[in-house]
Amino acid sequence: MILLEKKFFQSKKIFIAGGSGFIGRNIADALDNNNINYTATFNKTILKKKNFIKCNLLNLDEVIKKTKNYNILIIASIVSSGITAQKKVSEFFLENNYKIFYNLFKSAQLNKIKDVIWISSSTIYPDKKKRKSKEVDGFKDQVHDQYKVIGNTYRIIEILSKVFHDNKKLFIRTIRTGSVYGPYDNFSKKKSHVIPSLIRKMLTKEKRVEVYGGPSISRDFIYVDDLLAAIFKFLKFKDKKPLNFSNGKATSLLELLKSIKKVTGTYNKKIFYNKKKFGQNILLYRKLCNKRSDSILKLKKTSLNEGIKKTVLWYKKKY
């Protein structure tokens, strides 16, 4: 459970855009657990919960109306898809996400919301081979081909946020994070990312598990509660520069599978690595440099085994 500084947050009126999504649901739960008031949005996913309201974030007039009289805007909304679906929905993905973020930034400006924070992605970084990606690398070289849709979308949103920050006098904080996982993640076959996909597969009765890519492919995973702690703490700092926040460790698929097997007790599963799923255009290594966030936020991070354990326990209760 995340413990928040009540003196800071109880005097605030918090609006969560995208409250029905993976990160938004976790933010709402954290605020509920700390008895802090907020308003969160849902659109297609209907949530009959206190503090949740229906809001179409693609409708500017509706967003302006719903975000009045708030002083913190946390943007946890993005039209998302699994990596296998991104190439098919590139235009839709870019157009809708641009509209959502423009509407939210514009509404925050018009309604004079003092503090805005949103979560960007490590997909904006070019391929750094075996080196850590630093914040200054964000717009150097092209986005890796595997992430050209989502990575360039995040780059465009970062440019948009800078325009509003510089020209519209809107204070926007940006956190760039790695591969987030945890409760409320998407565990569906078509849209799940690597950790929820593997947890789902390992807990089925199938004896053979297909894994996309090779065993050495590495990503920088971060448990969702750690990201939430960073969001809440970063709100206290007047820092307009994008901030990397992740575990700062590159975990291979082989290491990840060992952890999931250990937690689920599924040691007898046979693993098949499908190296042809993404062809040759697959990013082999991604790790973020957390030097700035470690210095500013000074937060302890959840180990991979502990994070997987918490996620599996939640999944078993839910499914």
The per-residue pLDDT for range 138-174, each reduced to its tens digit, is 999 999 988 888 999 999 999 999 999 998 789 999 9
- What is the Cα–Cα distance from 149 to 83, expressed in whole angstroms? 10
Look over the chain and give the mean of its residue pLDDT values, rounded to a whole number: 92
pLDDT at 84 over 60: no
Cα 107 to Cα 74, 95, 97, 306: the distances in Å are 13, 18, 15, 39
pLDDT at 247 over 70: yes
Q: What is the pLDDT of residue 79?
A: 67
- Of 3-12, 113-122, 157-166, 234-243, the poorest mean pLDDT is in 3-12
Say which residue, 302 or 91, is predicted with more confidence.
302
Name the token pair of 188: 């569906």
Q: DSSP character for 207?
A: S
CB 217 within 8 A of CB 282: yes
CA nearest neighbour of 195 among 83, 274, 80: 83
- Reduced to 3 states (helix: H, G, I; strand: E, B; else coil), residue 39 is strand
Say which residue, 300 or 282, is predicted with more confidence.
300
- What is the Cα–Cα distance from 207 to 194, expressed in whole angstroms? 19
Enumerate the domain spans of the chain: 12-318
pLDDT at 85 over 60: no
- What is the Cα–Cα distance from 93 to 83, expressed in whole angstroms? 12
Q: Which amino acid is at 203?
A: L
Average pLDDT over every residue of 75-83 = 72
Q: What is the pLDDT of residue 102?
A: 98
Residues whose CB is less than 8 angstroms from the CB of residue 291 and which lie 6 or more positions away in sequence, other chains included: 134
Name the token pair of 22: 């993976």
C-alpha torsion sign, points 173, 187, 217, 91: negative
C-alpha torsion sign, points 174, 180, 186, 190: positive
State the maximum Cα–Cα separation within the chain, in Å, rounded to a whole number.
58
Residues whose CB is less than 8 angstroms from the CB of residue 298 and which lie 6 or more positions away in sequence, other chains included: none
Q: What is the pLDDT of residue 88?
A: 53
CB 221 within 8 A of CB 247: yes
Q: Is CATH 3.90.1150.10 the right assignment for the domain spanning 12-318?
A: no
CB 154 within 8 A of CB 147: no
Q: What is the pLDDT of residue 81?
A: 55
Total-model pTM: 0.94
CB 299 within 8 A of CB 226: yes
Average pLDDT over every residue of 34-39 = 94
In this predicted model, what pLDDT tens digit does every residue of 262-293 receive, in sequence order?
999 998 899 999 877 665 678 899 999 999 99
Average pLDDT over every residue of 199-211 = 93
